[in-house]
């Protein structure tokens, strides 16, 4: 049985352990930031009173969208930084 392997696990030499750990910390900081942004989205929709109900909902939805995008961006950056040394590139 053949299993699919993520591109960041491609053959090649992995980055040194200290860089891998720093990369993981950066990823986790992005995820924690996203949780904070989601909390702000809940606070905006539940507790902010601008005067128009649609305004709070729209603002809350925009902030929630940002909270969903942040971990995706953090994952892409983490995977790229894991993949680059395996391809002979300097991590960005």
Instruction: For 20-52, write each residue's pLDDT tens digit.
Output: 788 889 999 999 999 999 999 988 888 777 776
DSSP string of 45-61, one letter each residue: HHH---S-HHHHHHHHH
Report pLDDT for 83. Answer: 79
pLDDT over threshold 70, residue 13? no
φ/ψ bin of 29: left (φ > 0), alpha (ψ from -120 to 50), beta (otherwise): alpha
Report pLDDT for 2. Answer: 58
Q: What is the signed CA dihedral for 75, 78, 79, 81, rounded to 10 degrees?
A: 160
The structure's pTM equals: 0.70
Q: What is the signed CA dihedral for 21, 25, 30, 32, rounded to 10 degrees?
A: 140
pLDDT over threshold 70, residue 78? yes
Give the whole-number percent of the chain exceeding pLDDT 70.
72
């Amino acid at each position: 049985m053949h299993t699919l392997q993520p591109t960041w696990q491609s053959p090649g030499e992995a980055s040194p352990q200290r860089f891998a750990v720093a990369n993981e910390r950066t990823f986790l900081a992005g995820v924690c930031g996203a949780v904070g942004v989601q909390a702000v989205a809940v606070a905006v929709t539940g507790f902010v009173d601008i005067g128009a109900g649609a305004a709070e909902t729209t603002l809350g939805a925009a902030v929630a969208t940002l909270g969903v995008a942040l971990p995706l961006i953090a994952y892409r950056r983490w995977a790229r930084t894991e993949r680059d040394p395996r391809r002979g590139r300097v991590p960005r």
